[in-house]
């Protein structure tokens, strides 16, 4: 049972105090509890061994998250109430999709803690977690459609962890997946045609580099799959905590302040999978570099792939493991 499923079993405390929670101890993480506060927000309570670092730890207050150290709380569990001190993480949303998103990240971080974590360990583990949520106050860096298409490619890959390793850390990078000699750029179309916008560098890499273009049709439908659906599927396929953190970090950076609306939107999964095609950069019409004046940069243009022959990525013998992982 997921952390989110356990949270849904809890009832809101009948109180006016923000320091009173109804909670369940997590069997797999005996040092932690999943709780609910008077506002209906999910709460993670972590018992930790006190050390000198608590003197330098600062509480955190963000749009969607609050982290308070050494907070004395009254916790009710199975009809019994008890006062104790915890590190308390509150996810400030009553929207189920967001709660599931938050708790999916939290569960991964709990797995990386030792059985008897010190306060320093809790602090260090959750530093990256805090940065993930800090980015949710920023402007989005890419369209939801583009991000969904990239996640689809990761979710469908033969080697999901390999693609995650080479996924861009910064959404604005020139290539979505970059393994030096092998690169993949994902293009999506909601018009159901294969006309995509390219930056000049994407179709004119150095001679010793190979670029694959992944072209995907995307269409919004009410019974499709959301970003959250793809994240859950991807998360089930990877075991490394650092890759799970990277996955959620990039999604949060990309969507920024639009996340609450974005995770509600669903796309036609079957259409996307059936329409997925790969193309060599050499086969796509482009403006050659020699035709671009020396002092001209950031050149972009549309190119039509409709009559271009697609390829099987496994047919390309590259120097790396990226293409093999698709």
Where in the chain are the domains? 3-137, 144-325
Ranges of H-type helices in 135-268: 144-156, 160-166, 200-203, 227-235, 241-255, 259-262
Best CA proximity match to 280, nearest among 195, 182, 155, 191: 182
Q: What is the mean pLDDT of each run of 10 residues along the chain (326 residues)?
A: 92 90 93 96 90 67 87 91 92 92 88 85 81 85 92 97 93 88 96 95 92 97 96 92 90 91 95 98 91 86 96 80 92
pLDDT at site 56: 60
Best CA proximity match to 24, nearest among 49, 41, 3: 3
pLDDT at site 164: 96
Cα separation, 294 vs 206, in Å, equals: 17
Long-range contacts made by residues 310-318, C-beta under 8 angstroms, separation at least 24? Answer: 310/215, 310/277, 310/278, 310/279, 311/278, 311/279, 311/280, 312/278, 313/212, 313/278, 316/210, 316/212, 316/280, 318/181, 318/182, 318/210
Here the tokens at position 3 are 């952390």
Cα separation, 227 vs 238, in Å, equals: 17
Cα separation, 276 vs 273, in Å, equals: 5
Q: What is the DSSP string of 108-136?
A: HHHHTS-SS-BHHHHHHHHHHHHHHHHGG
pLDDT at site 318: 67
Best CA proximity match to 185, nearest among 201, 169, 207: 201
């Amino acid at each position: 049972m997921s952390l989110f499923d356990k949270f849904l079993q809890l009832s809101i405390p009948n109180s006016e105090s923000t320091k009173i929670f109804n909670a369940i101890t997590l069997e797999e993480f005996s040092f932690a509890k999943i709780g609910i506060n008077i506002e209906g927000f999910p709460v993670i309570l972590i018992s930790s061994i006190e050390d000198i670092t608590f003197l330098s730890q600062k509480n955190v207050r963000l749009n969607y998250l609050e982290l308070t150290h050494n907070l004395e709380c009254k916790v009710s569990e199975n009809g019994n109430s008890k006062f104790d001190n915890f590190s308390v993480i509150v996810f400030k949303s009553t929207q189920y999709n967001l709660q599931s998103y938050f708790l999916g990240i939290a569960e991964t971080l709990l797995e990386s803690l030792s059985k008897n974590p010190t306060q320093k360990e809790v602090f260090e583990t959750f530093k990256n977690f805090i940065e993930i949520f800090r980015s949710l106050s920023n402007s989005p860096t890419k369209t939801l459609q583009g991000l969904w298409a990239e996640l689809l490619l990761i979710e469908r890959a033969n080697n999901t962890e390999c693609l995650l390793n080479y996924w861009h850390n910064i959404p604005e990078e020139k290539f979505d997946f970059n393994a030096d000699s092998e690169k993949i750029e994902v293009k999506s179309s909601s018009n159901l045609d294969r006309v995509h916008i390219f930056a000049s560098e994407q179709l004119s890499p150095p001679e010793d580099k190979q670029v694959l273009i992944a072209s995907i049709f995307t269409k919004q439908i009410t019974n499709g799959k959301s970003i959250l659906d793809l994240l859950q599927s991807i998360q089930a396929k990877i075991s490394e905590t650092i890759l799970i953190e990277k996955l959620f970090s990039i999604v949060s950076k990309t969507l920024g302040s639009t996340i609450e609306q974005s995770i509600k939107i669903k796309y036609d999964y079957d259409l996307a999978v059936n329409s997925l095609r790969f193309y060599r950069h050499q086969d796509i019409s482009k403006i050659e570099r020699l035709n671009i004046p020396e002092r001209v940069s950031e050149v972009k243009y549309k190119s039509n792939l409709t009559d271009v022959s697609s390829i099987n990525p496994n047919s390309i013998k590259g120097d790396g493991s990226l293409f093999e992982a698709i």
